[in-house]
Structure 1
Amino acid sequence: MEKWTYIILAILAVYILISAMLFFFQDYFLFKPEKLSKDFQFYYDNQEIEEYNVETRDGATINGLRFKSKEPKGVVFYLKGNSKSIKGWGKFAVDFTRHGYDVIMVDYRGFGKSTGRRTQKAIKRDMQVVYNKIKEKVAEKYIILYGRSMGSGFAAKLASMNNPRMLILDAPYYSLSKVAKKYIPFMPLSLLIKFPMPTYKWLKYVNCPIHIIHGTDDRLIPYKTSVKLSKIRPELTKLYTVIGGGHKDLNNFESYHEMLEKIVTSRPNKVNLEGSSIHVKHSSKRANAKA
């Protein structure tokens, strides 16, 4: 009996140790930041940029870039993924400036030149501060929120608290807790995870058009995730499928750029369903058939 007691205690000790490691080191698993020196100079071919810093109430600095178009139709606030810095992510701004939109891109705390202790609450607050700065110069009806992977959660949260023209989610997750549970299903993640990022909860309160883009071969965040998310506000949501697209390569597909152009250049129009088959019901009965 003592042998089994020791085995159970050993298993329990290992379980507690793994739980503690997940709690204290999850930041290193979730985020892969690239840090830049304060004097680093950003440069992009054929792109006009302006660098700025936003000071937060707790003393942190959020560094960002504005990519300028010649005659801007509006602004895309681009919330990037969980790796690198805007040094590398900036190359994607051209997908919007070519359509006449300025792009605002920032580094989260601890990324690039941005400083401050990184928590979910702090990042949400930082993104709202940046959004407020944009609102000072641009009416919300001209602001597009674009969230890529990790950034999709923060973009959904911003859209739920504001009134942008539209929300675009690129390879979004249902919640980070759900993603983590896929890999470590035996851990009490509801108690351990510091960045649960419940995108599905925030989408319930979004009132602008929602466009979701996802690749069918995404192995990190499965395509079915976006199918589930699209059902939360179906009356506002359109799902765009990139056949064969993975998690990091959607920009290599012509179909992705066709979808993006359609999204950002079109105006939402109410479809006239009068005279359509929307309420026609199929029946297996032959009540109306002629004898």
Structure 2
Amino acid sequence: MAYWLSSIITVLVIYIAISIALYYLQDYMLFKPEKLPIDFQFDYENQETKEYNLETRDGATINGLRFFPKGESKGVVLYLKGNSKSIKGWGKFAVDFTRHGYNVLMVDYRGFGKSTGRRSQKAIKRDLQLVYNKLKEQTTEDRIILYGRSLGSGFAAKLASMNHPKMLVLDAPYYSLTKVTARYAPFMPLSLLLKYPLPTYKWLKYVQCPIHIIHGTHDKLIPFKTSIKLSKVNPKLTKLHTVIGGGHKNLNNFESYHTMLDDILNKIPKTIDLQTTSINVIHSSKPNKKKA
């Protein structure tokens, strides 16, 4: 056998082997779950909580935690977390919403915390729609805010595209997981291999509520330019909020993030009479000619 042919076959075998490994190991690379014993007790200082367990049609259990504000509630924030740990640790971020008078519901995806069941993109989407439906039994959709953080941003966008929440807030979102992973494996056929493509950009097209995107300029995992691109998908409904210097995991350490969140949650949008603005004024590119 010619040397060049042998080399091609060797490279092809290695390529196929890596592709197979990526397909079967991607769950372990993408998800970093923290499992909790069934009798684990959630406890947060100065936070009133209630634990829920929701049974799915395929026999899985989705565990969730609800945080209550002090005083009358303005609505509920369904907080869809990132790809690591469990709501045990993510619960500390609920205060950013309860302090504004909102209930917060956090749920663990399948295999996280106390939640059970075989994980897949389809199953998670179905689980979250079930959670959303339960919320609709308790309140009206105009009081439901969807907040998706990192991995959760794609699922939040999908939920918003299928329902009519008050608003959608995306925190450090990705264009699609296919695009994110392509940065690390540019020569692999990821569109065929990925079990979780999560095409956020496709779902955003069908969202009919206000969309707020929050992103840090120094995010190394999901670049800031991703949110610029996403903001153009449904521009009439989208507002991009920039955290100067913010990374992927530290936006909550910036005062500007909390100022933006306050603005998003509490300010009533005003209708602008564009006829009273300079919207139709065109800047002249040529100097005015002097009359003789």
**TM-score, normalised by the number of residues in structure 2:** 0.98
2:186 matched to which residue of 1?
185
Alpha-carbon RMSD: 1.0
Correspondence list, 1:38-187, <5 A: 38-69=38-69, 70-187=71-188
> Displacement of 1:259 after TM fit?
0.2
> Displacement of 1:181 after TM fit?
0.5
1:12 matched to which residue of 2?
12
2:272 matched to which residue of 1?
271
Question: Which digits, 9 at most, give the CA deviation of each residue in 1:46-105, with x for residues without a partner?
Answer: 000000000000000000000011311000000000000000000000000000000000
1:261 matched to which residue of 2?
262
Please give the alpha-carbon distance, in whole angstroms, between the structure 1 residues aligned to 2:14 and 2:179.
Answer: 23
- In structure 2, the CA distance between the partners of 1:135 and 1:288, relative to structure 1 (3 Å rule), is farther
Please give the alpha-carbon distance, in whole angstroms, between the structure 1 residues aligned to 2:289 and 2:54.
Answer: 70
| Larger CA deviation: 260-269 vs 238-247 | 260-269
- In structure 2, the CA distance between the partners of 1:283 and 1:107, relative to structure 1 (3 Å rule), is same
Give % identity. 72
2:22 matched to which residue of 1?
22
> Displacement of 1:288 after TM fit?
6.6
Secondary structure of the equivalent of 2:183?
A: helix
The code of the aligned residue for 1:208 comes to C
- In structure 2, the CA distance between the partners of 1:10 and 1:269, relative to structure 1 (3 Å rule), is same
Please give the alpha-carbon distance, in whole angstroms, between the structure 2 residues aligned to 1:207 and 1:86.
Answer: 29
1:34 maps onto 2:34 in alignment: yes
**TM-score, normalised by the number of residues in structure 1:** 0.98
Please give the alpha-carbon distance, in whole angstroms, between the structure 2 residues aligned to 1:256 and 1:228.
Answer: 20
Question: Which digits, 9 at most, give the CA deviation of each residue in 1:181-239, with x for residues without a partner?
Answer: 11100000111000000000000000000000000000000000000000011110000
Runs (4+) of structure 1 moved beyond 6 Å? none
Please give the alpha-carbon distance, in whole angstroms, between the structure 1 residues aligned to 2:82 and 2:96.
Answer: 16
Secondary structure of the equivalent of 1:183?
A: coil
The code of the aligned residue for 1:81 comes to G
Q: Which runs of 5+ in 1 are unaligned?
A: none
Secondary structure of the equivalent of 1:95?
A: helix
The code of the aligned residue for 1:42 comes to F
Correspondence list, 1:182-221, <5 A: 182-221=183-222
Secondary structure of the equivalent of 1:65?
A: strand
- The size of the alignment, in residue pairs, is 291
Please give the alpha-carbon distance, in whole angstroms, between the structure 1 residues aligned to 2:46 and 2:200.
Answer: 35
Please give the alpha-carbon distance, in whole angstroms, between the structure 2 residues aligned to 1:169 and 1:114.
Answer: 24
Please give the alpha-carbon distance, in whole angstroms, between the structure 1 residues aligned to 2:90 and 2:119.
Answer: 20
Please give the alpha-carbon distance, in whole angstroms, between the structure 1 residues aligned to 2:111 and 2:246.
Answer: 30
Please give the alpha-carbon distance, in whole angstroms, between the structure 2 residues aligned to 1:178 and 1:287.
Answer: 48
1:233 maps onto 2:237 in alignment: no
Please give the alpha-carbon distance, in whole angstroms, between the structure 2 residues aligned to 1:37 and 1:268.
Answer: 44
The code of the aligned residue for 2:198 comes to M
Q: Which runs of 5+ in 2 are unaligned?
A: none
Please give the alpha-carbon distance, in whole angstroms, between the structure 2 residues aligned to 1:24 and 1:118.
Answer: 13
Secondary structure of the equivalent of 1:51?
A: strand
> Displacement of 1:268 after TM fit?
2.2
> Displacement of 1:287 after TM fit?
5.1
Question: Which digits, 9 at most, give the CA deviation of each residue in 1:152-171, with x for residues without a partner?
Answer: 00000000000000000000
